[in-house]
Amino acid sequence: MLIFNNKADLTAFLAPYKSDKSTIGFVPTMGALHPGHLSLLDKSIRENKLTVISIFVNPTQFNNAEDLKNYPRTLESDVEKIQGLSDDIVVFAPSVQEMYDGDTQSSTFSFGGLESQMEGSHRPGHFDGVGTIVRKLFEIVQPVNAYFGEKDFQQLQIVRKLVQISRLPVNVIGCPIHREPNGLAMSSRNERLNSREREQAALIYRTLNQVKEMFATENVQSITKFVESTFAAHQEFKLEYFEIAEEDTLLPVNERGNAKYRAFIAVLIGGIRLIDNISLN
């Protein structure tokens, strides 16, 4: 399996695929790969001639220096997990210097308000960082299809908007959330939880399932109070936000209508920040 560390070498390797119009699939990651990432790779392998996976911890999307410092970096084990999946995978694992040419500054984006909700309001500058690195990666790889997990649903919508406003010819494909046996959404951050915290974190998905049941008969205000009281009763958790929002606009709703809705949540346990969401339709 080929591993590229610089843009020029990857571009040269991809040139023949682009010239004969072979489909290139792309799975951007920050490493610490888990079965959710591997499911994205599997889908890309089945749907494209070649798959590129990037492994890059992007500094500009972290608004917390300690979080960036502690983010797991496991390139060697990541490569081991990828090997054997297919002969048609290449890895792009650049340095920060390679991606940013010594200038680790984000571009500023307007995503039509998508960036102002939930994660955007709690992580200033986060989506500017996401938009900056995703656009850079799209311009380097020039994929036909790009695959993103729905655990980061707001990010998925942001990337779709980025493609639209930047007029990039990329098909952005959202893929279902992969969960651990207890329901916890798979995330690279889960590796920082101890075994007790990992089991306790199952409360997040249990609560979201209860929210989905309640949404059929109860109003948003009563559902929100239920979630707040649920986490207040468990001192190991700190609820950062809970929102019910329209999927397309991500705007919070007070009353349900005919749109598609999704519940979003962010909590901290043991100082580790976890997010999840669930479709309510």
Predicted local confidence at residue 256, as pLDDT: 85
The answer, yes or no, to whether residue 63 has pLDDT greater than 90, is no
178-196, pLDDT tens digit by residue? Answer: 999 999 999 999 989 999 9
CA gap 128, 155 in Å, rounded: 11
Provide CB contacts within 8 A for 264, sequence distance 6+.
118, 153, 154, 241, 242, 243, 244, 245, 275, 276, 277
CA gap 138, 118 in Å, rounded: 25
Instruction: List the beta strands (DSSP E) in 133-224.
Output: 145-149, 171-175
192-247, pLDDT tens digit by residue? Answer: 999 999 999 999 999 999 999 999 999 999 999 999 999 999 999 999 999 999 99
125-166, pLDDT tens digit by residue? Answer: 999 999 999 999 999 999 999 999 999 999 999 999 999 999
Provide CB contacts within 8 A for 90, sequence distance 6+.
1, 2, 3, 4, 10, 13, 50, 51, 52, 53
**34 is annotated as an active-site residue:** no
Predicted local confidence at residue 102, as pLDDT: 81
Q: At what angle are helices 153-166 and 126-141 packed, to 10 degrees?
A: 60
CA gap 155, 250 in Å, rounded: 11
Whole-structure pTM value: 0.95
CA gap 156, 177 in Å, rounded: 12
Q: Percent of the chain beyond pLDDT 70?
A: 100
Predicted local confidence at residue 70, as pLDDT: 87
Domains of the chain: 2-175 (3.40.50.620), 188-276 (3.30.1300.10)
Catalytic residue among 37, 122, 126, 178: 37
